[in-house]
Amino acid sequence: MLEKGIIKNLKYDAPASLVVFLVAVPLCLGIALASGAPLFSGIIAGIIGGIVVGALSGSELGVSGPAAGLAVIVLTAINDLGAFDIFLLAVVLGGLFQLILGFARAGIIGYYFPSSVIKGMLSGIGVIIILKQIPHAFGYDKDYEGSLAFNSPDGHNTISQLYYMLEAVSPGAIVITLVSMAVLILWERPFMKKIRVFQIVQGPLVVVAAGILMNLLFQSMPGLALKADQTVSIPVPETIGGFFAQFTFPDFSQITNSAVWITGITIAVVASLETLLCLEATDKLDPFKRVSPANRELKAQGVGNLISGLIGGLPITQVIVRSSTNIQSGGRTKMSAIMHGMILLGCAMAIPAVLNLIPLASLAAILFLVGYKLAKPALFKQMYGLGQRHFVPFMVTILGIVFTDLLMGIGIGLVVAIFYILYNNYKKPFFFESDKHIMDGTIRLELAEDVTFINKASIQRTLSQIPDGAKVIIDASKSINIDQDVVEIIEEFRTNAQFRNIDLELIEFKSVDIGNQMKEVENALANNLIFANGKTHVNAN
């Protein structure tokens, strides 16, 4: 049961924030590396995404930070603009555009993605996480942490890397992975969850601590020692002043550069779309089924990107890997996201050298568990049971994400889902009860609530097959909207029926002027209308 109040939920949020922090560190660094940006820019984005966006967002469980989906855009933009500080100006402008989108209520876009596509997105990310972490578990670390794209920077791809990693197997990494997996599986056992101390101490924390100890132990064993690229690699400043020297400021002299504005708009659009998709997915994973305000999320992301760009950070979005890790680790309120940002800030300032002892193999084990929980076999079985029109878009989305990238995969899944929606709409323009037709020979066609041009072909085909001398009733009493294309077809049939001796009856065949019902409800609530006993009363208070 969800408890009210930040303090009461800290016992859940604090451990979750530590796990999210451990996952976030290599992802922030990996995405910065793939973006061709300074490594510390990824850390800045993670800090701002946690503290600033976390505080302003209406999402209780969403975690924001640098996103792999923007890495290619960032890399291209930095090269095209010629300097990182010029690119930072584009990030600032992107944040301003996101604020505008939030105030323009563009957040509604996220609600137009079918559930089958959203669930496919979650499972697809789960599958790609597992596939991407297998090389890290074996000590092959050519692809950056956080990568979701099929093609890798080393010229290979997600599938081919599973073969090439066998040429660079690291015994030390494998041992760490196996021990880490054993700990995580043990922590998932029901009897462990009943012991109070293990409810507080999360399995991933034990995995990371054990990974650091094994890394230190293996340093004196040549056959097991880890290489520098097999651990976290956060920049280590020699002094506190050196820490602040890593911040970079945008070049405002380029404000008239049209390329900067185009880049800013691109960042705003792509980051907003990815955020809205992740927001919808996070709400579906939320065990308490809370609904996050999408427009407020866009505003929070806008402020986050504005600040991140001003101090040298990468663009920010809500990210599903960290959000799902937060949920699976028991996070309950936005404090887990905020605290993970604070821990990231504190550790980056105080103990970066300690963070650099964390093996990537330990984090791979943690992400294996995250991926498995996102792509559980039970979900595939459930979606298959819902029928073809749900299962096919679900599977297409998964395959699209695995073999292209996140946004492309979702786009492909959405196209397939829309096809099924249109095809289903095409097949059901009216309701026909064959039993009643057999009883009296009357053909009754009860039009659907919404009859559009998509139904034009099927209605025309049905009417053309009606035999001469038949009795036909076309009932539009339950229709709210009938497209003019359909109206013309029925009017033409009525004229033609006179020459074919067809007895035609039209019931309430007229246009109904229905306004925006969503607005009607919003206005009613805004005006304090109270509905009771079938009557409308205005609240005088």
Q: What is the pLDDT of residues 411-447, one digit of tens each?
A: 999 999 999 888 877 667 777 777 666 667 788 888 8
Residue 377 lies in a domain: yes
Indicate the residue type of 328.
Q
Mean per-residue pLDDT of the chain? 90
Which DSSP symbol is given to 108? G
The pTM assigned to this predicted structure is: 0.85
User: Nearest to residue 314, comparing CAs of 34, 103, 26, 79?
Assistant: 34
Q: Using one digit for the tens of pLDDT, what is the confidence trace for 44-74?
A: 999 999 999 999 999 999 999 999 889 999 9
Give percent of the chain above pLDDT 70.
94
Contact between 236 and 65 (Cβ < 8 Å): no
Residue 444 lies in a domain: yes
Alpha-carbon dihedral angle through residues 452, 457, 460, 463, given to the nearest 10 degrees: -100
Q: How confident is residue 515, by pLDDT bands cut at 50, 70 and 90?
A: low
Q: Using one digit for the tens of pLDDT, what is the confidence trace for 175-229?
A: 999 999 999 999 988 888 788 777 778 899 999 999 999 999 999 998 999 998 9
Least confident range from 16-30, 77-91, 211-225, 478-492: namely 478-492
Instruction: List strands edge to edge, sheet with 430-431.
Output: 430-431, 442-447, 471-475, 503-507
Least confident range from 203-207, 235-239, 273-277, 340-344: namely 235-239
185 and 139 in a single domain? The answer is: yes
Domain at 515, CATH number? 3.30.750.24
Q: How confident is residue 136, by pLDDT bands cut at 50, 70 and 90?
A: very high
Can you give the C-alpha Rg of the chain in angstroms?
Answer: 28
Number of domains making up the chain: 2
Domain-ending residue, one of 396, 415, 437? 396
391 and 437 in a single domain? The answer is: no
372 and 436 in a single domain? The answer is: no
Q: Find tokens 């073809």 and name the residue.
A: 388
Structure tokens at 495: 């004229």
Residues 325-346 have a mean pLDDT of: 95
Residues 96-124 have a mean pLDDT of: 94
What's the pLDDT at 441?
79
Who contacts 62 (Cβ-Cβ below 8 Å, separation ≥6)?
278, 279, 282, 292, 297, 318, 323, 326, 337
372 and 437 in a single domain? The answer is: no
Residue 366 lies in a domain: yes
Q: How confident is residue 238, by pLDDT bands cut at 50, 70 and 90?
A: confident
Residue 521 CA to its chain's centroid (Å): 29
Residues 306-324 have a mean pLDDT of: 97
437 and 332 in a single domain? The answer is: no
User: Nearest to residue 358, comparing CAs of 213, 235, 180, 153?
Assistant: 213
What's the pLDDT at 541?
46
Domain-ending residue, one of 376, 396, 416? 396
Tell me the sheet residues that pair with 151.
157
389 and 452 in a single domain? The answer is: no
Q: How confident is residue 517, by pLDDT bands cut at 50, 70 and 90?
A: low
Q: Find tokens 């089958």 and name the residue.
A: 116
343 and 457 in a single domain? The answer is: no
379 and 503 in a single domain? The answer is: no
Give percent of the chain above pLDDT 90.
67
Residue 55 lies in a domain: yes
d(CA 226, CA 249): 36
What's the pLDDT at 514?
63
d(CA 511, CA 69): 46
Residue 319 lies in a domain: yes
388 and 444 in a single domain? The answer is: no
What's the pLDDT at 1?
66
Residue 310 dihedral angles phi and psi, to the nearest 5°: -70, -25
62 and 180 in a single domain? The answer is: yes
Least confident range from 231-240, 473-482, 523-532: namely 523-532
319 and 376 in a single domain? The answer is: yes
* pLDDT at 37 > cutoff 90: yes
Which SS3 state, helix, strand or coil, does residue 57 take? coil
User: Nearest to residue 461, comparing CAs of 430, 439, 504, 418?
Assistant: 430
Structure tokens at 172: 């030390």
d(CA 538, CA 62): 38
Least confident range from 8-22, 121-135, 212-226, 236-250: namely 236-250
Residue 412 lies in a domain: no
SS3 readout for 457-472: HHHHHHHHCCCCCCEE
Tell me the sheet residues that pair with 359.
231
Residues 98-124 have a mean pLDDT of: 93
User: Nearest to residue 263, comparing CAs of 31, 67, 28, 70?
Assistant: 70
Q: How confident is residue 536, by pLDDT bands cut at 50, 70 and 90?
A: low
Contact between 473 and 442 (Cβ < 8 Å): yes
Residue 419 lies in a domain: no
Q: Give the structural domain span for 533.
A: 428-541
Higher-pLDDT residue of 167 and 316 is: 316
225 and 374 in a single domain? The answer is: yes
User: Nearest to residue 402, comparing CAs of 134, 139, 151?
Assistant: 151
Which DSSP symbol is given to 4? S
Residue 220 lies in a domain: yes
Q: How confident is residue 538, by pLDDT bands cut at 50, 70 and 90?
A: low
Residue 232 dihedral angles phi and psi, to the nearest 5°: -60, 145
Structure tokens at 223: 């056959």
What's the pLDDT at 448?
84
* pLDDT at 537 > cutoff 70: no
* Cα atoms in the 13 Å half-sphere on the side-chain side of 521: 2
Domain-ending residue, one of 353, 380, 396? 396
* Cα atoms in the 13 Å half-sphere on the side-chain side of 511: 9
d(CA 125, CA 116): 14
Contact between 176 and 361 (Cβ < 8 Å): yes
